């Protein structure tokens, strides 16, 4: 996560992950989570691929605003 460096643990440890996950620290404790991956993996996700990803609070306006503010703060 962002506790080690702006680029997460992978920046601090100088590694490149195939999949990265980010939890509630991204939204300051609000129900926010995110994932990222290389294009070979992300191509499996809809609408291009067959895998659909969803969550109970996906797109929650307050949580998304908090996550966006955190990402802006880090950059």
| Surface-to-core class of residue 71, CB atoms within 10 Å of its CB (0-12 exposed, 13-18 middle, 19+ buried) | middle
pLDDT surpassing 70 at residue 1: no
Q: What is the pLDDT of residues 7-56, one digit of tens each?
A: 778 888 899 889 988 888 888 888 888 888 999 999 999 988 999 988 88
Task: For residue 24, give both structure tokens.
Answer: 């509630």
Q: What is the pLDDT of residues 39-51, one digit of tens each?
A: 999 999 998 899 9
For residue 27, the tally of other CB atoms under 10 A from its CB is 23
Task: For residue 14, give both structure tokens.
Answer: 């100088």
Each residue of 6-24: b (16+ CB within 10 Å) or e?
A: eebeeeeeeeeeeebebee
Indicate the pTM of the whole model: 0.70
């Amino acid at each position: 996560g962002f506790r080690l460096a702006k680029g997460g643990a992978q920046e601090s440890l100088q590694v490149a992950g195939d999949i990265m996950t980010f939890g509630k620290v991204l939204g300051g404790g609000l129900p926010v989570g995110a994932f990222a991956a290389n294009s070979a993996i992300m191509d499996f996700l809809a609408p291009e691929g067959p895998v659909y990803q969803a969550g109970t609070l996906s797109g929650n306006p307050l949580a998304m605003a908090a996550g966006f503010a955190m990402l802006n703060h880090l950059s």
